[in-house]
A and B are shown apart, each in its own frame.
Chain A
Amino acid sequence: QQPVQSPQAVILREGEDAVINCSSSKALYSVHWYRQKHGEAPVFLMILLKGGEQKGHDKISASFNEKKQQSSLYLTASQLSYSGTYFCGTQGSGGYQKVTFGIGTKLQVIP
């Protein structure tokens, strides 16, 4: 079952912050975040594992709340290069190899 992402789309001005949420109705073992620019392949951002993990690099970070079966991606002081569609992908403890993606959140950063 695919995870649910919100919001579906967001427009930011450069320097503003954004939060993208991902939730699942099933127990999760891990959450993967990818960014895809138009016409390109998804690019891996980070994996979070169960246990309340938080990660980040540069101004993009994420958290995973295993109990709530939710993950959030935080983009701080957004740059034009952050524009793209952000997908969360989830892996359950069952079919542990495949990643099931949400429909994506389209992020546009404008000057």
Chain B
Amino acid sequence: EPEVTQTPSHQVTQMGQEVILRCVPISNHLYFYWYRQILGQKVEFLVSFYNNEISEKSEIFDDQFSVERPDGSNFTLKIRSTKLEDSAMYFCASSLRGGPTDTQYFGPGTRLTVL
């Protein structure tokens, strides 16, 4: 069964450093998402992406964050200058069509630790 994959599974970085989290969505899916989950808290929406553009973003997704689909398979989240409070589990998700009737399939997540 096709699945969303993410790399790395765990990233440790120093405060102020840039990190790039990578995701390979399910191959025929058209909508891509990033969510984050701070330890012990709820899953929070960051951004959705369709047709090479951001279609929606939350207030968390400030200028320090960017997303890109550099080729036909990868979808990346970049954090330019990491802060301690960026430490969280980051989940990538994809869906076939987007919209409220479509399932979002989550990847296994990347645990980001900022020291």
Chain A residues close to B by CB (< 8 Å) = 2, 29-30, 32, 34, 36, 40-44, 47, 49, 87, 89, 91, 93, 95-104
Docked complex Cα distance between A47 and B45 (Å) = 18
B105 contacts which of A44, A91, A101, A104 (Cβ < 8 Å)? Answer: A44
Q: Which one of B11-19, B66-74, B75-83, B94-102 contacts A?
A: B94-102
Docked complex Cα distance between A32 and B45 (Å) = 14
If A41-B108, A98-B48, A98-B58 touch, whether A103 touches B100 (CB-CB below 8 Å) is no
Residue ID in chain B nearest A31 by CB atoms: B100
Chain A residues with Cβ below 8 Å from B103 are 32, 44, 47
User: B108 and A40: CB pair below 8 A?
Assistant: yes
User: A41 and B58: CB pair below 8 A?
Assistant: no
Chain B residues with Cβ below 8 Å from A43 are 106
Docked complex Cα distance between A91 and B31 (Å) = 15
Chain A residues with Cβ below 8 Å from B98 are 96-97
User: B43 and A97: CB pair below 8 A?
Assistant: no
Flag whether B64 is at the interface (Cβ < 8 A). no
Residue ID in chain B nearest A36 by CB atoms: B43
If A30-B100, A44-B103 touch, whether A104 touches B91 (CB-CB below 8 Å) is no
Task: Give 21 A-B contacts (CB < 8 Å), ordered by A residue.
Answer: A30-B101, A34-B106, A41-B106, A41-B107, A42-B43, A47-B100, A47-B101, A47-B102, A87-B42, A87-B43, A91-B100, A97-B31, A97-B33, A97-B55, A97-B56, A97-B98, A98-B33, A98-B48, A98-B56, A101-B44, A103-B41
